[in-house]
Amino acid sequence: MKSFQEWLEQKYMDWEKNQSGKQTYYTFARFLDVGHSSLTLWISGAATPAGDDLAKVASKLGQEVFDVLNLPRPNSSTAKLLSGFLTLPSAFQTRLSNAVGETSQVLLQKKLDPESGEAKITAARIFEKWGFKITG
């Protein structure tokens, strides 16, 4: 199996072929919506993407990135959530991240089963606090 560095270089070359002429890593970083310095580290083999950057790479280059990095692929619901999340305005991303993070923390602290009625009510209240109305 290819290393992440080799895989990314191949993806860059494939992408470049579909563009109008020679492209730079800077332009590829903009396409991926990641920092140029991060891309430079990945191309050199000094680092690999994680967190939001990994989600962005997967969104643009495919779920195969998880295989190359020996990470489990997100299930289809998680992949859909990650892909959709990246299209939201940054203010919504921040509020949604805060709502999810707080909900997770509270449910863990209270040792609630996520499927329980109490957990669902707790989650709905937290999401409403962050400006999201949960119905049903």
pLDDT at 58: 92
Q: Are both 111 and 61 inside the same structural domain?
A: no
pTM over 0.75: no
Residue 102 sits in which domain range?
89-129
Q: Are both 67 and 116 inside the same structural domain?
A: no
- Report yes or no: 22 and 12 within 8 Å, Cβ to Cβ: no
Residue 56 belongs to a domain with what CATH number? Answer: 1.10.260
Q: Are both 44 and 16 inside the same structural domain?
A: yes
CA distance 89 to 120: 26
Question: Number of folded domains in the chain?
Answer: 2
Q: Are both 71 and 97 inside the same structural domain?
A: no
Placement of tokens 């891309």 in the chain: 39
Q: Are both 14 and 53 inside the same structural domain?
A: yes
Q: Which of 85, 83, 118 is nearest to 99 (CA)?
A: 85
Q: Are both 29 and 66 inside the same structural domain?
A: yes
pLDDT at 135: 82
Tens of each residue's pLDDT in the chain, 136 residues: 789 999 999 999 999 999 988 999 999 999 999 999 999 999 999 999 998 899 899 989 999 999 999 999 988 888 788 778 888 999 999 999 999 999 999 999 999 999 999 999 999 999 999 999 988 7
